[in-house]
Amino acid sequence: MPINFLCPEYEVVRDYDRCIACRVCERQCANNVHSLIKESGKMFADSSKCVVCHRCVSLCPTRALKIVKSDHSFRQNANWSAKAITEIYKQADSGGVLLSSMGNPEAYPNYFDRLLINASQVTNPSIDPLREPMETSVFLGKKPTELVRDENGRLQNNLAPQLHLNVPVMFSAMSYGSISYNAHESLARAAEALGIYYNTGEGGLHEDFYKYGRNTIVQVASGRFGVHKAFLESGAAIEIKMGQGAKPGIGGHLPGAKIVGDVSRTRMIPEGGDAISPAPHHDIYSIEDLRQLVYSLKEATEYKKPVIVKIAAVHNVSAIASGIARSGADIIAIDGFRGGTGAAPTRIRDNVGIPIELALASVDKRLRDEGIRDEVSLVCAGSIRSSADVVKAVALGADAVYIGTAALLALGCHLCRNCQSGKCNWGIATQDSQLTKRLNPDIGCKRLINLVSAWDHEIKEMMGGMGINSIEALRGNRLMLRGIGMTEKELEILGVRHAGE
């Protein structure tokens, strides 16, 4: 029906003076945008199929391609945006829920961008990380409340199980199924080389990757897919996923098309059937139930592994986190409303949850007010985009951060936000063997190592500038931050002063 025709939002622009019709664009596009017109020997592009993944642009050897925002427009309307109008057309056509991928792209305030970092001048020397030790390694886990000494007065190690990170950055949960085998291999190998952790997400752990267990966090979510004794024992820590920043309050859905071969086996579900994770854990309807699951998992693994509870940042996140801290969890992971996803209902992704900066600041404060901050470590997630975001998150109170989108970008993701299609041209969010092979883990692993090492260098530079030579002295050190362009209330929640104060 003509109403359904939507003029493409982006156009493929080809410089015919440069195009040599090598057809790499055609061969590399899983969406069939490009084709060769036999008669003229020229390449043609159907922009309406283009998802703006830039695969063709990146591989074009003569730089003949670019993708530009179309200047085609609806009649200007400050209320009815083009997005609002076209989404209505789509829903009027399909009758369905709109689906989206990756993090919330809407123009909500970004508080990391309104925080500025301090540096030493005169009264306190900055420290040069090239000349002096600069420490960014952290331990995650409960700190002891009582000290125990032996008969000679020597302190006994009564620490609960801990995770040791060389850099306060981990790869967040992305399941095998939502991302490819090669993406998982890249993450696992990089985590091992960096001395950090990656997370299985809710999809089990492929048997090939058990060897990276010391750097693996295994996830137990509401569908319990892929959970068995060996799985729990294979990882360094167990994460109970209660929620996800991109879609707080709802479960997950991996379409049957992606449940093929090893994915089906790893998830322990039949091939071709949809994998539906319920919205809640049906054995957790309250905080006391969570405590039972935490201890069930600890019992099952002989109290040798820390248990992480991951929640989405929602309105009363600090009270929830405080409850979790009293429920035996060793680490709380909080995922902000900009966190990524392989697929989520658009309305939920774009309208539910709160910014991680505010959630983190209020959780850290609440746990301190209640004197239980040392009972748990805090990991924050939900659009950590740079080392500066890491520094700001740690200064607000995080022990470490999870990165998901940033890690995928390192692997080649161009944030086209079409993961739900399963036709990822970069070989990441797909199970099509012709596409997955586009991500060579030798390259992927190296790029992840590069990214995190680069961030580590930058974190050290910023710490040195502040005169801090160990990351634990930055944790919760909010005097090292100043806000800019914020209201009194925002500053109060973040616990920082305004720049100039």
Q: Which residues bind another protein (CB under 8 A)?
A: 17-20, 22-24, 27-28, 58-59, 61-64, 120, 123-125, 127, 132-133, 135, 137-139, 143-144, 147, 153-155, 157, 159, 162, 368, 371, 373-374, 433-434, 437-438, 440, 442-443, 466-470, 472-480
User: Which residues touch 71 (CB under 8 Å, ≥6 apart)?
Assistant: none
Contacts of 247 (CB under 8 A, 6+ apart): 312, 341, 344, 345, 348, 349, 352
* Beta carbon of residue 98, minimum distance to another protein (angstroms, whole number): 32
Nearer residue to another protein within complex by CB, 62 or 316: 62
CA-only gyration radius of the chain, Å: 24
Least gap, CB of 478 to another protein (angstroms): 5
Q: Which CB sits closer to another protein, 340 or 495?
A: 495
**Residues linked to residue 177 through DSSP beta bridges, in sequence order:** none
By beta-carbon proximity to another protein, the closer residue of 195 and 280 is 195
Q: How far apart are CA 220 and CA 222, in angstroms?
A: 7
Query: Is 254 or 367 the residue whose CB approaches another protein more closely?
Result: 367
3-class secondary-structure state, position 411:
helix
Q: Which two tokens stand for residue 401?
A: 């951060």
Task: Report, in Å, the least distance between residue 35 CB and another protein.
Answer: 16
Provide φ and ψ at 265, rounded to 5°. -65, -45
Smallest distance, another protein to C-beta of residue 24, A: 5
Rounded Cα–Cα distance for residues 291 and 325 (Å): 10
Contact 24, 43 (CB under 8 A): no
Please provide the size of the chain in residues.
501
Instruction: Give least dist CB 434 to another protein, A.
Output: 6
Q: Which lies closer to another protein via its Cβ, residue 281 or residue 438?
A: 438
In the complex with another protein, which residue's Cβ is closer, 132 or 283? 132
Q: What single string gives the DSSP state of each residue in 223-235?
A: T-TT--HHHHHHS
Q: How far is the CB of 494 from another protein (least distance, A)?
A: 13
Least separation in angstroms between residue 62's CB and another protein is 4
Q: Rounded to 5 degrees, what angle do the CA atoms 8, 429, 9 make?
A: 10
Rounded to 5 degrees, what are φ and ψ at 500? 95, -20
- CB nearer another protein, residue 353 or residue 476: 476
Contact assessment for residue 96 and residue 89, using Cβ atoms and an 8 Å cutoff: no
Instruction: Check if the beta carbon of residue 187 is closer than 8 Å to that of residue 447.
Output: no
Query: Smallest distance from the beta carbon of 424 to another protein, in angstroms?
Result: 14
Q: Which two tokens stand for residue 414?
A: 């161009």
Shortest CB 188 distance to another protein, Å: 18
Integer distance in angstroms from the first to the last C-alpha of the chain? 60
Q: Which is nearer to another protein, 143 or 282 (CB)?
A: 143
Helical residues (DSSP H) of 219-279, grouped into ranges = 229-234, 261-267
Which of 9, 452, 384, 445 minimizes the C-alpha distance to 187?
Answer: 445
Of 224 and 368, which CB lies nearer to another protein in the complex structure?
Answer: 368
Closest CB to another protein among residues 138, 348? 138
Least separation, in Å, of the C-beta of 322 and another protein? 13
Please name the residue that has the structure tokens 């060996």. Answer: 230
